[in-house]
A and B are shown apart, each in its own frame.
Chain A
Amino acid sequence: MRQSKHKKVRYRCFSFKRLLIIPIFIYLMVPVFAQEHEISGIVTDKSGTPLPGVSVYVEGTTIGTTTDVDGKYQINAEPESSLKFSFVGFHTESVDVQNQTEINITLIPDVIELSDVVVIGYGVSKKSDITGSIASVSSEEMMRKNPTNVLQGLQGIAPGVTVTRQDGAPDGFASIRIRGIATITGSTKPLYVIDGAQVGQDIDFLNPSDIESIEVLKDASATAIYGAAGANGVIMIKTKQGKAGAPKITFSVDYGVQTLASTLDVGDADQYAENIRVARAYDGAILANEIFSEDYDGVRKTIDWQDEMTRVSLKQQYNLSASGGTENTQHNISLGYLNNDGIVVNTNYNRITGRASVVTKAADFIEVGGDVNFIHTESKGSNISYGNNGNLSSLRDFAFYCPTMDYVDPITGEHISPNVVNSNGTYGTYIQSSVGTYDGNAGDNIYAVQMENNGLTKINRVLTRVHAEIDLFKGLTFKTIGSYNLYNRNFENFWGNKHRYMPDGVTEVELANYDDRYHLQIDNSQSNTIALESFLTYNWSNDVHNVTLMAGNSLSNSFGSWSQASAVDFPGDNIRDVSLTSDPTTRTGSGAYNLDVRGISYFGRAVYSLKDRYILTGTLRQDGSSNFGAGNRWGTFPSVAAAWRISEESFLVNNQVINNLKLRIGWGQTGNSGGPTDKSVAALTSETIQYFYYPQGGTAGLGSVRQLANGYAIPLVDTRLKWETNEQTNIGIDLGVLQNSLTMTLDYFTRISSDLLLNRSIRPSAGYTEVYTNYGEIENKGIELGLTYKKQVTGDWYLSVGLTGSSVKNEVKKMGADLLSVNGETTNDGSNVGAVAAPSGVHWTGHSICREGYAVGSYYGYEVEGIFQSQEEVDAANASAVAAGHSQYQNQNTGPGDFKYKDIDGDGFIDENDMAILGNGFPKLNYGLNIYAAYKNFDFSMYSYGVLGQKIYSYSAMTLSNIFPGDNQTTPNILQESSDEAWTPENESTTIPKLTMLDYNYNMRGSDAWVKNGDFLKISTIQIGYSFSNEMLNSMRIGSARLYVSIHNVATFSSYNKYGDPEAGQGSVLFTGLDTGRYPYPRTYSAGLNIQF
């Protein structure tokens, strides 16, 4: 550290021999030639990049010049004089001229090394002074992964920061959780702060290539300065800014080819038919569709839906930026474009990002700056209303779909073999119920459905920010940041009037129960946030003491509105105007202003450092939120933390092994005010309330005489709603050994959330089933480890290895009554719970439970004791049940080959009281391993991450093992392995029950049979790069250039792969670890080029 402050001047192009000769020569010549001579040279930065605009002058004179665009200069000076090189942002250097005619110099930045400084709330701090738990992520490291969005870039890089992708869609969701889950119904997303301005809980709008560095504030002593907003951690992002000097232009291009990384091994049409025949026999039923009889084995056509629905797709990304400026004004502009065709047909994501920033010094004590960020995205084909989670893009959905559309016409007896796509481009489909019955599928050709999916989501977002920073007096600065954040979302869809054709492509199929009218839907919403934050910072120090005080306040206001319009029945397929519907009664329109959310905060922080060894930090924040009623609006959140830099003590200061050792301990509170809500205000209900009055002897028939009265009711509201409190204690060690080539960060923390804001399930005699209130307590305990080894191994070899690991135990400490999840609801955060539909149909009702003593959203279901092997076993179980006063043990139609469930409550039969907690979706360990190596101009990097001790509650495994037609109108096509291993009288030693379509026993129900080991190791990225040498580039006036090739989603090692990708992220905390299938993660082969001019 100290060494880094020393001036480092390196001279180039001088051989040792010349160094010896020159002084002698000078000595001899001085009396004679003690006069000016011309000196020339090049000024560069550390990377060798020429620095234009550097002031070069002869010390003590007015003689001077500046370097040209190539960093070159020429100047005349006397040998006894000195040259001064001055440039904003760099240390001024002085060089004695003597008799040199060529002086090349490298300037050192006039700032503390980036790696030694971290951005904290409302300021920056030397890393050595940090008392809280903070993880740093460099842009360089993140960008080696070519991330589409910021969360992808963060995956597996920082300990305690768990990023889980939810699907592989081109606009795919990912969830990020810092130090576990501290809420049940609220958000788990962290706060993002960009260049000091809070921007909310989404970062989708920021192009990763615009990022300079990221700090993740994890413990409360670090986040408490953001009070309520920082309850789930804070991610501080510093964006790239312009630098004084000649304009710098960078351009990067990344071009990738995406393929399906893996497939599910389901059966072909003949295996499918055999399964149906076997099941029908067990069910005591005959085939409904003759096509599945043995007569058609080898004849019926197999459709590989996984192949039909996916494709090799292209992904291209371009970024262009230009920066530069003078000593007083710097600017930076950038433009990015991403076009990502998903690997599922007719899916696409398009993104344009733009950013411009400028900083100027109006005077030597005042700086004003600002930036504008813009993003436009268009998403098509995924995450909209069809199939699994409202989209038809889950690999499991494709795989388990009936693998043939063949059928035997019940009237003509003809074997019909529809095509997915006919030769003339028209689509075929399954047998229609108007023609006959079916065993396989009652739905439509999913390829056709997907190709006709016109839904398009457009998002426009603008974030603009202005700041002013004033040095008021020595050590005292004032900074104010104003920001405006606009989010606009538009969804439009036009559909209807579909047509399907027989294999000839001409004969149209009469679709059963089909509304052939055109539908038009247009949704719009927009939200705005205006915020202003101002704070004063004062610093005073001497050789012993260093004090930094900061105090300020902020206020914010969020507002918006939404509208929707739709209609049905249009005269033509070109019409996109709701008013032109042929049936005005179908016109709908609605909209509203959003509830404003306002906040005011006051905050302060004091940091005291004694002898640069003992550091104490205290923060206090008071937040006021409009979410609560008067009297409960304000919450106060303190924190305190201390650090001891042990390595600065006398007994360690010169230790050759331990270079850095710091002990940190901290405690703090943050709060959570929940989302915008009317739920603290006593109000009249918005539900329809009406009643009917009649005259005496009135009529109730057609044309009845009655009077309709509309009315009011007051729903249950907790007007005493208050802040949710999040309390965290942290103890950590930072260690650096062997010249800091090996560093370690180890943290242990506890995080307790209390007074949770949640919809509490309440006694039914209250008249309501739940109320939004403060209740409950959740505890997270965890340990985090970060290990980094960086070493210049030899002159040409550089090696960096990073290992992260974290383990979090989540437990509901106080809950009251159990909270069981409700199926069939699709959440807007990407949770695929919609797939677990029809709760009574598939008997997965309440598969997620929150119960005291267990993790949030634990798995809930039945325990399988085994499989009934004979009717005698079934009869014996039923006889015992009857003796205990029940009708039967499980179901009256339970038979051999069905699961036998455990009678947990011991009452002699199976009902919902025999459901138990089967585990949870929190892995015992999250880890990441990242390797970077460089040899000369080549570099290599590999990123991997994984989990251990992970259980997955796999609805996918169930639907790939059981042929009960539960959803998507299809009898599932199960895994070949499940077909082979399903119970038969001859195959008793198995864990797969018999094949049955009726499934009287509900073998499909949520049970531990479907809880699978989800451990995995994923090699996410391998990249090889080559940086061209300056010598090669100078002639082309190129500053630097790097070419790379990479593979993403290289391999996943897991026993779960047969059911799908084990990385089963969900947006909702209640469904952590639930796998219902998802848009497949693509494998991407890409190549790219980064050039700087």
Chain B
Amino acid sequence: MKNISKILFTLGSILLLLGITSCDEEFLEVDHYSILAADQMFKSDEDAKAGLVGCYDMMLPVAETNGDWGIKPNLFIGGHPTMDTQATGWDKDWNTQNWNAGSPELLSGWKHCYKAISRTNDFLTGLEDADKITPSLKKSLEGQARSIRAFFYMWLAKAFGRVPMLATGEDYINTPAKARAETYKEMWDFIIEDLEAAVPLLDWDPLDGQYGRCTKGFALSYLGEAYMWKAFRVPDEATANYKEAADALLQVIESEEYELNPSFTTLWDPGAVWTKECIWETVLDEGSQWNSWSNLTDAHTWHTYFTACPAAGGWGTLYLSWEWWSSYEQGDKRRDASGMTGPVEDIDPDWKSPTNYGYNPYLQQSIAGGDELTHHYHYYKDGEAAPAIWSLKTWRTCRADWQAMWGPQQIYYKRYANVLLDYAECLFNLNGENDATAWGYINDIRERAFGNLEVGKKEDLESTYLPYYQQIAQFYYDNGDTEVSIPDEYPIPFNDDLVTVPDAKTYYTQLKADKGFTSPVWLVALGMERRKEFNTEWCLAQDLIRSGFIEDHITTNYPKGEGYPNTNPLVQDAWQTHRTFDFVPEKMDMPIPTEELLKNPLCDQNEAYK
């Protein structure tokens, strides 16, 4: 009996052991409750669109602050090298070519772009094998994704020169180290290939009528610019590439899908976004409440708060130079549309704006009283000085308020005006400085700048753009500022009558002679027009670099040794920027971030920083 029991127990033990061992792999498969499997992205058309949203998401700032993709690093790379935008405090090295590989702003821009590229690579990898997506949609999605990837690679290429190029299917796991593109040709061909591929995949109108998506116009405009960069970087092939660029840009012009806004002044107004002038922009929404931390989304940044005058509650990240302010001809409305000055007591009468002298007309805010620091050419505080000029492109839609630091913003990356001037640049390079078509496009830009396109359209313009300022005035009034009046006309008046605009070629020939520029007249004209048109827009520095005007601009517009150092209190009453450094062209390519060099053994540094 005992032996039988033992046998039974033995069998039971063996069965128990066998039972457990039979679980094996299946037992080790567990449900993942907090994640969606990656293949979810391509299960339906809607899923695939959502996957592409993941790529577009990178166009927006990462957070509501300025850290990764908000005002920094774009201001630092696209603005400060021109010296037209100026930094102070901790950022002051950006005005002296003292930027370095350890800059957190450079690193954050680098990381942001590669995150976007990684997402588009993942998306394109999955899209290749997706068999549940409607074919026509699949084409559009591919075109959009390749456009987005090209956009971010162009940002890197323009900022850093040559960078590692990661293609579809490459990620860190299979490519732990990656060298930079060996040649500029290799790098720009990679970008051009994406844009060339995207052009036929996309329509002129955005998918589903949703502006904010890449279109054929986007692909062609950036394709043209990419060819121009290749022409700049590979001089031996310049002519062929300018031709390719011109062909692409001409398609945009001849499509008649785009046109200049009647008023330059209104381009940053919330009343109309994605106008016919816009080829690519990021629209930042202000949310639904003005005085609450709630309802934040990624579409908020603190542009207004950061760029407003400190005397009006702002942070003071962005100042514009008096050299830039003084570059405008009388009657050019772009100056007052772009900035305001402090109430400088002995200001040159030509520099005194009728609407923007110590006053923000959009927000009905004066900086004339209170803080006397604003009454000088330089705002001097805590041992640091900066020009007393602030941007109205960013400080326009709401007051700087610590409790509500976000306002609607339009951050333009490419406007039709860019295309026109880029095309003109191609024509000058191909046909010489007398190309009438090219001068014609410059003159078109200037006609709009002087307000001639506004004539007869005041009623339409005000119906579109004034309501916002009435609404915001009412808001401030309701919140206790009884000094505010509800405006009944646009803050900066529109032109009722045509004015005579000096011919560009004539004007810039004279200017070259007067100031001693060394560049050809056409390049001076393009460069100076771009300064006036694209200040506080992040294409400016790279346009000046690529076109070859940047050194002439710095050495002529910012002569070395003028004025006083920023730490000298005498700087308050001097308008000049005190340039101490000799311009180093090689520093127009930013240094590869240290962290990349440390963690990517195949990546090397740009020569200027070795």
Contacts and interface: CB of A to CB of B under 8 A. Distances in A.
B285 A771 contact: no
Contacts of A701: 270-271, 286, 397, 408, 467-468, 471-472
B383 interface: yes
A165 B51 CA distance: 49
B599 interface: yes
Interface stretch (B106-114, B222-230, B429-437): B106-114
Interface in A465-498: 470, 472-473, 478, 480
Most chain-A Cβ atoms within 10 A of its Cβ — which of B35, B274, B297, B409?
Answer: B35
A592 B53 contact: no
B16 A480 contact: yes
A684 B36 contact: yes
A681 B35 contact: yes
A683 B32 contact: yes
Nearest to B175: A766
A765 B110 contact: yes
A714 interface: yes
B40 A684 contact: yes
Contact of B285 (A678, A683, A692, A817): A692
Nearest to B475: A702
A595 B9 CA distance: 36
Interface string B12-33: 0100110011011101111111
Contacts of B56: 691, 709, 711
A698 B211 CA distance: 9
A279 B275 CA distance: 58
Given A555-B23, A698-B274, A701-B468, A470 B13 contact: yes
Contact of B164 (A765, A885, A892): A765
Contacts of B110: 764-765
B172 A716 contact: yes
Given A698-B273, A771-B172, A534 B13 contact: yes
Interface stretch (A624-632, A799-807, A923-931, A1005-1013): A624-632
Contact of A686 (B35, B118, B410): B35
A409 interface: no
A536 B172 contact: no
Contacts of B276: 696-697
B546 interface: no
Interface stretch (A320-328, A596-604, A1018-1026): A596-604
Nearest to B6: A472
B255 interface: no
Nearest to B297: A690
A704 B285 contact: yes
A460 interface: no
A699 to B, nearest CB: 6
Given A711-B50, A711-B53, A765 B35 contact: no
Interface stretch (B76-84, B241-249, B551-559, B590-598): B590-598
Interface string B272-290: 1111100000011110100
B286 A763 contact: no
B2 interface: yes
Contact of B102 (A704, A708, A911): A911
A595 B31 CA distance: 7
Contacts of B178: 763, 765
A403 to B, nearest CB: 31
B37 interface: yes
Interface string A743-772: 000000000000000000111111111010
A527 to B, nearest CB: 14
B9 A366 contact: yes
A712 interface: yes
Interface in A671-689: 678, 681-686, 688-689
Contacts of A624: 24-25, 28
Most chain-B Cβ atoms within 10 A of its Cβ — which of A689, A700, A704?
Answer: A700
A710 interface: yes
Interface string B48-61: 01111111110110
Nearest to A679: B35
Contact of A678 (B35, B102, B177, B598): B35
B25 A767 contact: no
A765 B163 contact: yes
Interface residues of B, number: 103
Nearest to B212: A693
Nearest to A366: B9
B147 to A, nearest CB: 14
B136 interface: no
A763 B272 CA distance: 41
Most chain-B Cβ atoms within 10 A of its Cβ — which of A472, A602, A693, A763?
Answer: A763
A573 interface: no
B284 A596 contact: no
Contacts of A697: 272-276, 464
Contacts of A818: 598
B323 interface: no
Contacts of A712: 36, 40-41, 47, 50-51, 53-54
A480 B98 CA distance: 71
A987 interface: no
A764 B122 contact: no
A101 B540 CA distance: 117
Contacts of A704: 270, 285-286, 408
B210 interface: yes
A1013 to B, nearest CB: 33
A767 B149 CA distance: 12
A21 interface: no
B13 A696 contact: no
Contacts of A555: 20, 23, 27
A990 interface: no
A690 B53 contact: yes
Given A690-B57, A692-B212, A764-B110, A478 B273 contact: no
Nearest to A633: B28
B5 to A, nearest CB: 7
A65 interface: no
Contacts of A598: 27-28, 30
A594 B33 CA distance: 7
B21 to A, nearest CB: 6
Contacts of B365: none
Contacts of A702: 286, 288, 468, 471-472, 475
A532 interface: yes
A763 B28 contact: no
B173 interface: yes
A912 B284 CA distance: 35
A712 B34 CA distance: 14
A762 to B, nearest CB: 5
B240 to A, nearest CB: 30
B182 interface: no
A895 to B, nearest CB: 14
B91 to A, nearest CB: 13
B372 interface: no
Nearest to B52: A711
A626 B29 contact: yes
A92 interface: no
B10 interface: yes
A764 B107 contact: yes
Contacts of B177: 763
A761 B32 CA distance: 25
Contacts of B513: none
A147 B29 CA distance: 42
A-B pairs, top 8 by smallest CB distance, nearest first, are A711-B53, A767-B118, A713-B54, A693-B210, A701-B270, A683-B35, A763-B600, A766-B172
22 contacts: A555-B20, A595-B30, A626-B29, A630-B29, A690-B57, A691-B59, A696-B211, A698-B211, A698-B273, A699-B270, A708-B297, A711-B50, A714-B122, A716-B172, A718-B173, A766-B171, A767-B111, A768-B115, A768-B118, A771-B172, A817-B599, A887-B93
Given A478-B13, A709-B56, A818-B598, 11 more contacts: A536-B13, A681-B35, A693-B208, A696-B276, A709-B49, A711-B56, A716-B173, A719-B173, A763-B177, A768-B118, A885-B98
